[in-house]
Amino acid sequence: MSVIKQILARGSSNTLIWPILTLLALCLLNLGFNPHFLAVRVLDHHLFGSPIDILNRAVPLILVGLGMTLVIATRGIDISVGAVVAISAAMAAALLGGSQAFAGGWSVGAAIAAALGVGLVCGLWNGVLVAMVGMQPIIATLILMVAGRGVAQLLTAGQVIPISNPAYLFVGGGYWLGIPVSLYVAVVVVAATALLLEGTALGLFIRAIGVNPVATRLVGLRANAIVFWVYGFSGFTAGLAGVLISSNLRSADGNNAGLLLELDAILAVTLGGTSLLGGRFNLAGTVLGALIIQTLTYTTYSIGVPPEATLVVKAVVVLIVSVIQSPTARQWLLARLRPHAAPARAPL
Amino acid sequence: MWRPPPCRHVNIDAGAGAEMSEPAFRLVDDERDGPRVPIFETLAVSKSFPSVRALSGVDFRLFPGEIHALMGQNGAGKSTLINLLTGVCAPDQGEVRLGGQAVHFCSPQDADAAGIRTLYQEINLCPNLSVAENIFIGRQPMHGGSRGGPINWAEMRRRATEVLAGLNLSLDVRKTLDCFPIAVQQMIAIARATCVEARVLILDEPTSSLDEDEVARLFVVLRQLKQRGMAILFVTHFLEQVYAISDRITVLRNGERVGEYWAKDLSAEQLIEKMVGHNRLGETLTRTVDTKFSMPVVPDSPQNNTVAQPPPLVSLEGVARRGMMQALDLEIKAGEILGLAGLLGSGRTETAQLLFGVERADAGSIVVGGTSRRFRSPRDAIREGIAYCPEDRKREGIVAELSIRENIILALQAKRGWLRKIGRRQQQHIAEIYIARLGIKAADIEQPIGLLSGGNQQKALLGRWLATGPTLLILDEPTRGIDVAAKFEIMLEIRELCAKGLGMLFISSEISEVTRISHRVAVLKDRRKIAELSAALANEDAVYKLIAGVTE
């Protein structure tokens, strides 16, 4: 009991404690069903095992989640990331020569660059609508969410394009020094983002915009420009995720690539302790949130939840985690645990 | 729940022609009240809020066929009185009477149903709907009459055109509202308010967004409504408009009624005196020399040195923006405090916003260090060394959830750009300097600034701007809503900064505060500068006289 109390009390000061605990609990659950859950073997000079598998599969969500984190920190939202994933995957596949719509035959480097570029452009388009035109973020990105699937289908001519270029497949499915390449990508992007935000003043500016855009303008910040580039960044990370997903699945599917990824990304961001009200973000939390979602998906399969019940189980777990993370609910729980103590400090 | 007494208001309407003639009006005078009854009155109403007694024992009368101005300074209780009349809140004591009967409105809807229409400063209509829809929304004529059915569009348009014609407006009622200028929209709002059984029209600062021609048009309409027997209550901060339109004036001060006067019997000076209170004179006299800022520290005081004056730090030359500020000339020198005095709505904050680039001027130029500039954003102004502590600390100043440290370094960091981040240790150092220097009381510099008291927040904002090393500091209401001690400390700090050569534009709604601290005072009225007083001449009386238009 006292442990719970301590955890509950500390939870308000350290936002990372909840995602960490959730992840640990999921791992313990898995260990209960499968004692070898955490075992990692070397097979054919490659690392194999559930943890590697989960990490590897979580990479696209981590990347998209990073972009989403910053967008949400500015008090916005980007629900077009799933569609951008599809566009970028379709772009790469088409340029590599799988589609009837394009002659194809581009080099791998050029195809990847084009896919990333198109992701960036998509993000900047959202940025124009939100920061320059002044549209509500959810509406602005809804446009691309709907239209983006259409663009992706045009690029793939309505087909699922198979990709066979070995160099391209290496990015999302290959191994280097025994570790999946996509993990390197994730580490580099997360580190670069953290450096960009904390090594410069951008992190502070983004949080300030999220809390009080009016005051931010009055201190002489170009809030619009910053918001514009934040959406651009979100598009870029979605483009990168598109490359990894298409490479991993060896195909680009305009309809299904990145389907509902925007919702998982928003979930990862919130599980990681970033406030949907803006002004606060936590990159490490988002990474943990993405890992939680991926582990949860893995768990539902591994412990034998029937496929038709998977989504319900997922929803219940998310509900529990969200309730525990809410300061109001936590105060309520604390008050129940020590009925004679003075009323707890009001949440900030 | 109040129900309209049958036919009473119809009588008023029917008799409008005969009864509204001038002689009948004389009866309003107390001793000659005669048979005439106020349509809407309050009897000794009081209202308290947790921390303040907003109204105590206020009698107020509104007669049919008159335009009545409600006057008072900020916090005098005007809004509370209007809220009582319109059912937004209920009086603690006393009663509100409509047509001689006590009424208890539970909501603005009740008041509306009883024929009391209120128009606020902002137009509460839908810009995306047609004029006809705006007038009849919620009471659209139906094909099936009161039983419903589809909307009878033809009927609605016909009646809308008719109502507007009654106000001397002829326009295409099928066009959307946003096709029309603000004044016409305001008129349409009046049409909506008056088209159905209105007996009382309450206008809360209806003219603040209008220019002179538009005001004149509005007044024509108000006089027509008055002729028809409507009782009109008018709240404004523009003194000239009060005299242009109103028959009687009720003055409130500190939640009490000072009196009810015929507009023609009360001079503007008397009116201001009543609004401000008599003790103001005593206050002015007791103001001692030592509270006045000692002049010698100003190296270039105009009196001493008329030959070779240094160029002003910043000067505004004919800076104007339509609907906001008329052409304005101001000069601020280094080491000088220029005070801006004026009533609410006189253009004080607007001046600051134009100078800081928050709003773009559409005429004139701002000269900084001898070069003419155009500020398109605060960024441009900051680059020229200007800093601005805005009026609305919560909304425009603090970033509540960020720490004190982050709030203090924010403007400096913004000035340096995102690439040249101020290191964490240096941030702490800067924050600590200003916390110590300004005496900010905080447990921890990592505490969110939103948790501090108003005075400490204000000091932190002052620190935020001082950290940028400005040459001109604009302070808009720096002492509003903070306690006396903090107020005093901030004023001391302002003087000290000024002695070090910082130029300052000081804005406050407390005119005594402005005259006490400033070297020169520019007096604003109705969005233009009407005078400039040197420190020797600037006192509260002089300023009020200027505002009232009294020349000696």
pLDDT along chain A (348 residues), means of 10: 56 70 89 85 82 92 96 94 94 77 71 95 96 93 93 88 86 88 94 94 94 92 94 97 93 86 91 82 92 90 84 83 76 72 44
Residues of A in contact with B400 (CB under 8 A): 211-212
| pLDDT tens per residue across span B207-235 | 766 666 777 878 888 898 888 888 999 88
pLDDT tens by residue, B24-76: 333 344 444 445 788 899 999 998 877 677 888 999 999 999 999 998 876 67
**pLDDT tens, residue by residue, B97-138:** 988 888 888 888 888 888 888 887 667 788 889 999 998 887
pLDDT exceeds cutoff 50 at B174? yes
B443 touches chain A (CB under 8 A): no
Question: A222 CB near a chain B CB, below 8 Å?
Answer: yes
**How does residue B8 score in pLDDT terms, banded at 50, 70 and 90?**
very low
A205, A218, A279: residue with CB nearest B418: A205
List CB contacts (< 8 A) between A280 and chain B: 401
Q: Distance between CA B344 and CA B171 in Å, rounded? A: 34
- Name the pLDDT band for B18 (thresholds 50, 70, 90): very low
Residue A348: its pLDDT value, please?
41
Q: How far is Cα B470 from Cα B468, in angstroms, rounded to an integer? A: 6
Q: State the helix-helix crossing angle for A108-127 and A223-249, rounded to 10 degrees.
A: 140
Distance, CA of B458 to CA of B476 (rounded, Å): 11
As a whole number of angstroms, the distance between CA B552 and CA B550 comes to 7
Which A residues 277-296 touch B at CB under 8 Å? 279-280
Residue ranges of B 7-46 with Cβ closer than 8 A to chain A: none
Q: What is the pLDDT of residue B504?
A: 92
Best of B382, B413, B451 to mutate (most A CBs within 10 Å, chain A): B413
pLDDT of residue B484: 59
Contacts of B422 in chain A (CB under 8 A): 201
Q: At what angle do helices A261-271 and A81-96 cross, to 10 degrees?
A: 130
**At B420, is the secondary structure helix, strand, or coil?**
coil
Contacts of B383 in chain A (CB under 8 A): 220
- How many residues belong to chain B? 552
Q: What is the pLDDT of residue A35?
A: 86
Q: Would you kindly state where each structural domain of chain A is located, as residue ranges?
A: 2-337
3-state secondary structure B69-137: EEECCCCCCHHHHHHHHCCCCCCCEEEEEECCEEECCCCHHHHHHCCEEEECCCCCCCCCCEHHHHHHC
Q: Which domains does chain B have, with CATH numbers?
A: 28-115+234-277 (3.40.50.300), 317-385+470-552 (3.40.50.300), 405-467 (no CATH)
Contact A130, A122 (CB under 8 A): no
Provide the CATH number for the domain formed by A2-337 in this structure.
1.10.3470
Q: Who's near B375: CB < 8 A, 6+ residues apart?
A: B355, B356, B357, B360, B361, B366, B381, B384
Nearest-angstrom CA–CA distance, B85 and A197: 54
Query: Which residue among A205, A212, A220 places its CB closest to the CB of B382?
Result: A220
Which chain B residues are within 8 Å of A202, Cβ to Cβ?
418
Q: How many percent of chain B have pLDDT more than 90?
A: 22
Q: Searching chain B, which residue's CA lies closest to the CA of residue A204?
A: B406
Answer yes or no: do B398 and A212 touch at CB < 8 A. Answer: yes
pLDDT tens digits, one per residue of B382-426? 999 999 999 888 888 999 889 999 999 999 999 998 889 999 999
Instruction: Report pLDDT digits (tens) over B290-307.
Output: 344 333 333 444 444 444
**pLDDT computed for residue A204 by the predictor:** 94
